[in-house]
Amino acid sequence: MLQRFANGVDHSPVTHNTVESTIKSIGNSSTMPRDLISDEDIWAAFTMLSESVASRLRDHGFRCQTVQISIRDKNLFSCERQAKMPVPSCLSTEIATQAMRIFKEKYVMSSPLRSIGVRACDLVTMDTATQLSLLWDYKKQEKLETLERTVDDIRKRFGHYSIQKASLMLDPALTGHNPKENIIHPYALFTDKLPI
């Protein structure tokens, strides 16, 4: 048996795995085109990445209970921090706000940032029962969710740049790309030789 395994010999029939893997988290990160030196830069980056994360959460029918950020400065020092959300959410503004809160409370910026990421963790489905809070405005959250779903629909029909937040248009060099569409080009496109 070990000899057959070592030689890659297997006569068992090919089967299709019908069990789908459960999504554990949804995130996005980006190495920025320039160093992030101010709170405004960091907020713009968190907003751009949170839009992508929130859109993918809604696409898969999830809300997140925890937000995690990852940071790498220009000296390549990296760290990750996370915190619970007040209530589960799939709204980009709430995810970006929580990411900025984590950054301000748990990270001391000693040098400019080069790479930044946002991850939605502790996912629950849209119909999961959760503990209600008397201090939370659920009607407002429902209206904002409807608004963001409408934005998703407009972007699907007319393209990502058909509707944008004004804050993301202040520095197009920093936030002028769609993080939801990461394209990895094959090595062979850039050279006529394959890597050895």
Inter-residue contact 83 to 98 (CB < 8 Å) = yes
pLDDT in the model for residue 55: 93
Along the 196 residues of the chain, how does pLDDT read in single tens digits? Answer: 888 878 888 777 776 554 445 888 999 999 888 899 989 999 999 999 999 999 999 999 999 999 999 999 999 999 999 999 989 999 999 999 999 999 999 888 889 999 999 999 999 998 877 767 777 788 888 898 998 999 888 988 988 778 888 777 777 777 666 666 654 444 344 444 444 4
pLDDT in the model for residue 99: 96
Q: What angle do CA 150, 155, 160 make, to 5 degrees?
A: 140
Residue 120: CB atoms within 10 Å: 29
| Model pLDDT for residues 163-192, shown as the tens digit of each residue | 888 777 777 777 666 666 654 444 344 444
Specify the residue for token string 């709170």. 39
Which amino acid, 2? L
122: left (phi over 0), alpha (psi -120 to 50) or beta: left
The CATH superfamily holding the domain 26-127+136-172 is DNA polymerase, Y-family, little finger domain (3.30.1490.100)
Count CA within 13 A, CB hemisphere, residue 183: 4
CA distance 76 to 117: 14
Whole-model pTM above 0.95? no
Residue 196: alpha-carbon gap to chain centroid: 33
Element of type H or E holding 110 = none
Cα→Cα distances 161→45, 170, 175, Å: 16, 14, 11
Inter-residue contact 62 to 125 (CB < 8 Å) = yes
pLDDT in the model for residue 177: 64
Count CA within 13 A, CB hemisphere, residue 185: 5
pLDDT in the model for residue 170: 75
DSSP class of residue 106 equals: H
Inter-residue contact 92 to 53 (CB < 8 Å) = yes
Tokens of 111: 């040098």
Look at residues 22, 40, 106, 114 and name the one whose alpha carbon lies nearest to residue 67: 106
Tokens of 7: 């030689």
pLDDT in the model for residue 155: 86
Instruction: Give percent of the chain above pLDDT 90.
Output: 42
pLDDT in the model for residue 88: 92
